[in-house]
């Protein structure tokens, strides 16, 4: 895998030596969202008000042979939680470079990209038709175990050109990644080489579109060099999703599988062997301003040994959004059952949001 990564870097370096680059263009885009949350049930959270924002600086350009490049840096304020960042200026509210990408699109040869905390192919939310937000990834989350994603690593990825097969558009991808290193994301965005035996990952992706039908699938395998030198089961998983647009209606169905790393044979211990999660999502655009959606997720824990009582996590979300040009008002009502695969009281969460993109 290290040989493949070195080869890709050599290819990119060669292009920079034999071609001239024209002056690129710089754009700044972003989003802001204010939310008011009310949570009840099995939760230690009551009411909350928050404002989230993100800025993305994007540069694009073209070189003499017709290839194009794109560089992007995203800035996010920190939340004050120690995430392994050692710099003293990484205090709550500091805007850090947490996601970066450099992509070289080579016409009929496809695209090569280098990523920090980007470039993932996870199918966990691709089936979503939610009108406002992903409820299981916002506010109080129910603790569903999703597959590991390449977006959690520093990686190099190749995406093939799109092929037309009997009217269907098909493309594929392959990526390899390593951990960001001991200095955290800010250090990863510079020249920090990381530890000697960082955890590594490989990921494969496949994408198909045909009219209003979209489909994707991915598989990822993680080699946890630092944690478990020998493993009975490696961390691996993936999933697939289907979406279908019918006029103003959208349908989505997705499956993901997460197989956690198991160092040795579990014996009589109740050890989770894999998690299977199913998403069904329906959305409707009533008119140009108003849209609604309903989404369910069910996640099952399957143990390597029998005997333990298992509880499935279930999430049901109803949402509505009203767009007033540059501002969107959103309402989301979610119910979570058996959070973290435990027999606990239901969690109910209501979110009122105001969001704008610029």
Kindly report the CATH number assigned to the domain that includes residue 27: 2.40.160.10
Residue 18 pLDDT > 50, yes or no? no
Angle (CA) 200-204-207 rounded to 5° is: 150
pLDDT value at position 225?
Answer: 59
Residue 284 pLDDT > 90, yes or no? yes
Calculate mean pLDDT across residues 131-137.
92
Per-position b or e across 103-132, b if 16+ CB within 10 A of its CB: bbbbeeebbbbbbbbbbbbbbbbbbbbbbb
pLDDT value at position 123?
Answer: 85
For the chain, the domain total comes to 1
Structural domain including 80 reads 2-357
Residue 325 pLDDT > 90, yes or no? no
Instruction: List, for residues 211-256, the tens digit of each pLDDT value.
Output: 999 999 999 999 875 555 567 788 999 999 999 999 999 999 999 9
Report residue 78's pLDDT band, with 50, 70 and 90 as the boundaries: low
pTM of the predicted protein model: 0.83
């Amino acid at each position: 895998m290290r040989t493949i990564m070195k080869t890709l870097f050599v290819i990119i370096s060669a292009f920079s030596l034999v071609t001239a680059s024209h002056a690129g263009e710089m754009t700044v885009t972003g989003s802001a969202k204010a939310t008011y949350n009310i949570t009840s049930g099995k939760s230690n959270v009551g009411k909350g008000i928050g404002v989230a924002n993100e800025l993305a600086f994007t540069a694009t350009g073209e070189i003499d042979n017709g290839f194009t490049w794109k560089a992007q840096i995203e800035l996010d304020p920190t939340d004050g939680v120690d995430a392994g960042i050692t710099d003293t200026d990484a205090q709550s509210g500091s805007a850090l470079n947490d996601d970066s990408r450099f992509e070289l699109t080579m016409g009929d040869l496809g695209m090569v990209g280098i990523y920090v905390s980007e470039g993932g192919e996870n199918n966990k939310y691709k089936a979503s038709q939610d009108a406002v937000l992903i409820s299981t990834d916002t506010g109080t989350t129910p603790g569903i175990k999703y597959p590991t994603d390449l977006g959690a690593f520093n990686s190099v990825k190749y995406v093939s050109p799109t092929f037309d097969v009997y009217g269907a558009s098909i493309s594929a991808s392959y990526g390899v990644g390593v951990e960001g290193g001991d200095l955290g994301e800010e250090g990863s965005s510079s020249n920090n080489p990381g530890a000697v035996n960082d955890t590594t990952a490989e990921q494969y992706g496949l994408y198909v579109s045909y009219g209003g039908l979209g489909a994707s699938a991915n598989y990822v395998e993680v080699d946890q060099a630092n944690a478990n030198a020998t493993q009975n089961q490696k961390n691996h998983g993936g999933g697939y999703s289907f979406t279908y647009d019918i006029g103003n209606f959208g349908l989505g169905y997705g499956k993901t599988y997460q197989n956690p790393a198991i160092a040795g044979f579990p014996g009589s211990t109740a050890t989770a062997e894999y998690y299977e999660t199913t998403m069904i999502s329906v959305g409707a655009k009533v008119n140009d301003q108003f849209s609604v959606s309903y989404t369910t997720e069910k996640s099952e824990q399957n143990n390597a040994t029998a005997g333990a009582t298992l509880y499935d996590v279930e999430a049901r979300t109803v949402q509505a959004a009203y767009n007033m040009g540059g501002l969107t008002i959103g309402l989301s009502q979610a119910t979570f059952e058996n959070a973290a695969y435990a027999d606990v009281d239901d969690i109910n969460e209501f979110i009122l949001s105001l969001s704008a993109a610029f």
